[in-house]
Amino acid sequence: MQTCLVVDDAPVIRKIASHILLQFGLAVESVANAEEAREWIKENGLPDIAIVAACPSDSAGPQLVDDMRRMAKGTGLVILASIVDANLGLMTRLKRAGATDYIYKPFDRDALRSWIKPYLESSAAA
């Protein structure tokens, strides 16, 4: 079973994303910030998929993406940056840090499924 770590400071986003992702057959954990994510990774290892919230006024998102990418050392870790709008500067920083792709908030089940489906194992994608 693939694991997914959701990192977002908004409790409602963590709850909704976790609920939806569980329906896709993922083992889901969620944390509120980059520091909690680092602690979770230290205790559990890297997830298969990480959804990391990022905003233009805070460098924590791109820094966490960079840290996770370095920890992954070439493994198949998928890091999806969760952003509110198509901010080119933020998107560039996230991509340079190692983000695989982007997810736009707010999202619903269908939107989240379309963004994450390419990264699901075949049994979970059904």
Domains defined along the chain, listed by start: 3-118 (3.40.50.2300)
Strand runs labelled E in the chain: 3-7, 27-31, 49-53, 78-83, 101-104
User: How confident is the model at residue 121, as a pLDDT?
Assistant: 79
User: How confident is the model at residue 75, as a pLDDT?
Assistant: 83
Order of strands across the sheet that contains 101-104: 27-31, 3-7, 49-53, 78-83, 101-104
For the chain of 126 residues, list the mean pLDDT of each consecutive stretch of 10.
95 95 95 95 96 85 94 90 91 94 91 92 53
What is d(CA 86, CA 49) in angstroms, rounded to the nearest whole number?
21
54's CB contacts (< 8 A; 6+ apart) are: 60, 61, 62, 65, 81, 82, 83, 90, 94
Q: Are 116 and 24 in contact (CB under 8 A)?
A: yes
Instruction: Say how far residue 37 (Cα) sits from the centre of its chain.
Output: 11
User: How confident is the model at residue 122, as a pLDDT?
Assistant: 56
